[in-house]
Amino acid sequence: MNEPRIFRPDPDDPTRSQRGLTEQDLAAMPTVFRSDLLDGHVMLISGGGSGMGKAMAFLASRLGATVAICGRTAEKLDRTRDAIGEATGRTVHCYTTNIREPEAVEAMIADFSDVTGGIDTLVNNAGGQFPQDAIDFTRKGWNAVIDTNLNGTWWMMQEAARRWRSDGRKGHIINIVANVERGMPQAAHTCAARAGVIYLSKTVATEWAPHDIRVNCIGPGVIETEGFAMYPEEALKRFHKANPMKARGNAWDVAEQVMYLASPAADFINGDLIIIDGGQAQWGVVWPGGMPDYFDEGGAA
């Protein structure tokens, strides 16, 4: 009983050949949820071709949901669809959609709603950034990160809400943001965008309550995924030191939280931000570009 439920690889183990959970892991990971929890549930997950989104797509399918995933790279989506089909026998719908294009978002939400009869949960997980000191951001780089994480998330939210309103159907939005409580050095662009999404979500959680639409956010800390390819080794080797558990989370930690929020157990949760970070918010700092010498003199992480 004292064994950890989910195996956490040693971040310092040089023999680790890949980052994040494999498709075999995602097909077999134990879950606390019963296997028919999401029977009849319809879920759209952006960025579902890799990392946390892929783990969510696996788990939702294993729990009986009808799932669609979107992203910019068709091969990643197809591979995920095939792996989930093989593991669960369920068909995942794929949309090669850039969330930065509002017309494409509108078409995707219309199509998936028509095909399934209506979406129950939208998970806005697509996003990302590159590590850089804010003073050096180019205009194009700043715009790319804001357009992806703030505008792209908003097009998805607004389109889903409009469809739910016109269909007279209830809905739920879960936005995957980040742990921005104490800022995020070397990622100020994403920090600005995610803070925007958090307060946008809190605002429309009230505005949209009369339409029976709930909106919540999840703020992951350091979660080991393929996305870590964006960061230099000198930064990666410290990531687990940013929380008092001195561990990296994994995609299953976040996927299970999403399923809880999508389940009837969470029906009264609205306008909230749930942090999954092993205590990082209280203690550590992530340096996605590597800790500058100035700060490397003891203190937190």
Ligand X SMILES: CCC/C=C/C(=O)SCCNC(=O)CCNC(=O)[C@H](O)C(C)(C)COP(=O)([O-])OP(=O)([O-])OC[C@H]1O[C@@H](n2cnc3c(N)ncnc32)[C@H](O)[C@@H]1OP(=O)([O-])[O-]
Binding residues (CB under 6 A) for ligand X: these are 128-130, 132, 138, 140-141, 144-145, 148, 178, 187, 222, 227, 230, 286, 288
As measured in angstroms, the least distance from the Cβ of 163 to ligand NDP is 19
Q: What does 176 interact with, of ligand X, ligand NDP, none (CB < 5 to 8 A by kind)?
A: ligand NDP
**Quick check: 157 binds ligand NDP (CB under 6 A)?**
no
Q: CB of 204 within 8 A of CB of 215?
A: yes
As measured in angstroms, the least distance from the Cβ of 49 to ligand NDP is 5
As measured in angstroms, the least distance from the Cβ of 133 to ligand NDP is 18
Beta bridge partners of 93: 68
Q: CB of 235 within 8 A of CB of 287?
A: yes
Q: CB of 74 within 8 A of CB of 81?
A: no
Q: Are strands 249-250 and 273-276 parallel, antiparallel or unpaired?
A: unpaired
User: Among the residues of the chain, which ranges form H helices?
Assistant: 23-28, 51-62, 74-88, 102-116, 139-146, 153-167, 188-207, 233-236, 251-262, 280-283
**Quick check: 220 binds ligand NDP (CB under 6 A)?**
yes
Site string for ligand NDP, 221-260 (x = CB under 6 A): -xx-xxx---------------------------------
CB contact set of 199 (below 8 Å; sequence gap of 6+): none
Q: In whole angstroms, what is the distance from residue 15 CA to residue 273 CA? A: 36
Helix H, strand E, coil C: the string for 251-296 is HHHHHHHHHHHHCHHHCCCCCCEEEECCCHHHHCCCCCCCCCHHHC
State which residue, 51 or 278, has the beta carbon closest to ligand NDP: 51
State which residue, 47 or 171, has the beta carbon closest to ligand X: 47
As measured in angstroms, the least distance from the Cβ of 288 to ligand X is 4
Q: Which two tokens stand for residue 67?
A: 């799932």
State which residue, 97 or 129, has the beta carbon closest to ligand X: 129
Q: What does 288 interact with, of ligand X, ligand NDP, none (CB < 5 to 8 A by kind)?
A: ligand X
State which residue, 113 or 125, has the beta carbon closest to ligand X: 125
| 36-95: contacts with ligand NDP (CB under 6 A) | 46-47, 49-53, 70-73, 76
As measured in angstroms, the least distance from the Cβ of 157 to ligand X is 18
Q: Which residue, 23, 56, 13, is CA-closest to 253?
A: 56
As measured in angstroms, the least distance from the Cβ of 250 to ligand NDP is 9
Q: List the one residue from 176, 188, 235, 266 that touches ligand NDP (CB under 6 A).
A: 176
Helix H, strand E, coil C: the string for 142-155 is HHHHHHHHHHHHHH
In angstroms, what is the C-alpha Rg of the chain? 19
Helices 51-62 and 74-88: angle between axes, nearest 10 degrees: 30
State which residue, 152 or 284, has the beta carbon closest to ligand NDP: 152
As measured in angstroms, the least distance from the Cβ of 187 to ligand NDP is 9
Q: Applying CB under 6 A, which residues contact ligand NDP?
A: 46-47, 49-53, 70-73, 76, 98-100, 125-128, 148, 152, 176, 178, 220, 222-223, 225-227
